[in-house]
A = this chain, B = another copy of it.
Amino acid sequence: MQILITGGAGFVGSTLARTLLARGQLAGRPLRRLVLADQVAPAPDLCTDPRVQARTGPLLDQCAALRDEPFDGVFHLASAVSGECELDFDLGLRSNLDSTRALLDALRARTLAGHTPARLVFSSSVAVYGPDGDRPLPPLVADDTLPAPQTSYGVQKLVCEHLIADYTRKGFIDGRSARLMTVTVRPGRPNGAASSFFSGIIREPLAGLPALCPVDAQVSHPMASPAGTVAGLIAVYEATPEALGGRLALNLPALNVRVADMLDALEAVAGPQVRALVRFEKDPRIADIVARWPQGATAARAAALGLRPEPDFATIIRQYIADCAARPDAAQTLHALPR
């Protein structure tokens, strides 16, 4: 089994890579080779695994060469994020649309040369949903809610979903699109995603740092943990086409929580002095993007694959703390917690 992860040095990509390497198999076949393609090099622990190969550079430049590589499957996670795409329209089109098209055409060329079509899991996003005109979003978006994306990022994800459905219908690939919920708590530094603060308001206080929340405490949003997200991507990869129930994208499981619920959970896990590090200061640019996102989601098709959301946000925080505790920089990332 030879697998490609695009965006393989990113947070979700790295977490997926570690999970696959630890499992040692995918869809019942041993994992022999794992290629991590990204703009930057993967984390050192990944590079030391003899099954791992790194490919560093823009995906768009790498795709032509992929025609000659015998990948059984691809997790296509590479993407410019929502905030970046709003600020730089060309970047979004190039990174999210053109690169996906080049990847699909590389896989198609291999199929047309007589090889078995590669299986592909595309990480789409809950950002495909939005209100339009006098058509408001339902309180919870479902697999069959009409997408009306209100960001360039959401549009590009939706467009790729439909291209992947068509390449699949034609037999060029065996493609599946999974709509990721906001992945929380992400380690590291804030990124350009408009959703970055959903991690920041937990991560920074746990490290003893102040954090700004750019939206109101009553804002509700569908979340998933890193481990839950990776489990969802793997389950979608391993599902039969019949179990998937169609070529259209499906939602991954969501825990629908308000910012206030997140901070209550933070206080329950880490104490009031940690929660007190979060200060509300509205950022109109971020608040405007988030206001056009769903407040929550259901995931009936994912449930049929056995996937469930986390039971509560405290579980997600404890998972983050456990992940940090295993890292060399644990003292910094969990500075506010007693040893």
* Interface residue ranges, A against B (CB under 8 Å): 89, 132-135, 144-146, 148-150, 152, 155, 158-159, 162-163, 165-166, 169-170, 244-248
A244 x B169 contact (CB < 8 A)? no
Closest B residue, CB atoms, query A246: B133
A152 x B133 contact (CB < 8 A)? no
- Contact sample, A vs B, 9 pairs, CB 8 Å cutoff: A89-B170, A132-B246, A132-B248, A135-B144, A135-B248, A144-B146, A146-B146, A150-B169, A159-B163
Report how far A244 CA is from B89 CA in the complex, Å. 25
Report how far A248 CA is from B165 CA in the complex, Å. 20
Selected contact of A152 from candidates B132, B134, B145, B166, CB within 8 Å: B166
Q: A89-B170, A135-B144 are in contact. List 4 more A-B contacts (CB 8 A).
A: A133-B244, A148-B248, A149-B162, A155-B166
Report how far A155 CA is from B145 CA in the complex, Å. 18
**Which residues of B sit under 8 angstroms from A244, Cβ to Cβ?**
133
A162 x B152 contact (CB < 8 A)? no
Closest B residue, CB atoms, query A159: B159
A246 x B148 contact (CB < 8 A)? yes
